Amino acid sequence: MEKGKITVFSGEGRGKSAAALGMALDAAADGKTAVIIQFLKGRGLAESIFCKRMEPDIKIFRFEKSEVDYDDRSVEQREDDVSCIRNSLGFARKVLATGECDLLVLDEVLGVIDNQIITVEELGELVSHRGDTQVILTGRVMSGELCAFVDEISQISTVRFKKYENS
């Protein structure tokens, strides 16, 4: 794990969050700690019993109140969640400033930019406090402006997706 590196997983394909979670598992296997903050995902992973068992090595947080994906929320629900999203970004700033973890994952934070809740500049300012903490950003749409402060970008695309049914 490279100290202070910023990695992005973006694109329309499936697996961006899974790739970030895999890196968190790798970090934990190496004796490091990871904090994952999820945005826009509805219920997300934070309430999973399985995820609670990964603590204290991997901690997952979700601050939004709504249990449905952001795109499926009403205008009123979206407005209510904006302050929760901003609070979660404040929490991320605290995590980075205190060096609380070795790896910070901001899952779907690019969607927060795409939905105009924060700007690229605000995200850049946030991650400028990372010190030795590696940061992973995920989301579908990646602004070219991010290239100014990102070290590595992985573009994820799905070539074929077939949903398997239980027999």
Express each pLDDT in 62-98 by its tens digit: 887 777 777 777 778 778 888 889 999 999 999 999 9
pLDDT band at 43 (very low <50, low <70, confident <90, very high): low
In the chain, DSSP finds a helix count (H) and a strand count (E) of: 5, 6
Give domain status of residue 163, yes or no: no
CA distance 70 to 41: 6
**Predicted local distance difference test score (pLDDT) of residue 48:** 63
**Predicted local distance difference test score (pLDDT) of residue 62:** 85
Q: Please say whether the beta carbons of 139 and 41 come within 8 A.
A: no
**What pTM was computed for the model?**
0.87
**Res. 115: pLDDT tops 70:** yes
Identity of residue 5: K
CA distance 128 to 116: 20
Q: In terms of pLDDT, which residue wins out, 83 or 113?
A: 113
Give domain status of residue 162, yes or no: no
Percent of the chain with pLDDT over 70: 90
Give domain status of residue 161, yes or no: no
Give domain status of residue 1, yes or no: no
Indicate which CATH number applies to the domain containing 125. Answer: 3.40.50.300
pLDDT band at 56 (very low <50, low <70, confident <90, very high): confident
* pLDDT (mean) for 26-44: 89
Rounded to the nearest 5°, which phi and psi values hold at 165?
Answer: -100, 145
Give domain status of residue 160, yes or no: no
Q: In terms of pLDDT, which residue wins out, 114 or 63?
A: 114
Number of domains comprising the chain: 1
CA distance 106 to 130: 13
Give domain status of residue 39, yes or no: yes
Tokens of 121: 């500049």
Range of the domain at 144: 6-155
Tokens of 50: 């399985």
**Predicted local distance difference test score (pLDDT) of residue 111:** 93
Give domain status of residue 52, yes or no: yes
Give domain status of residue 164, yes or no: no
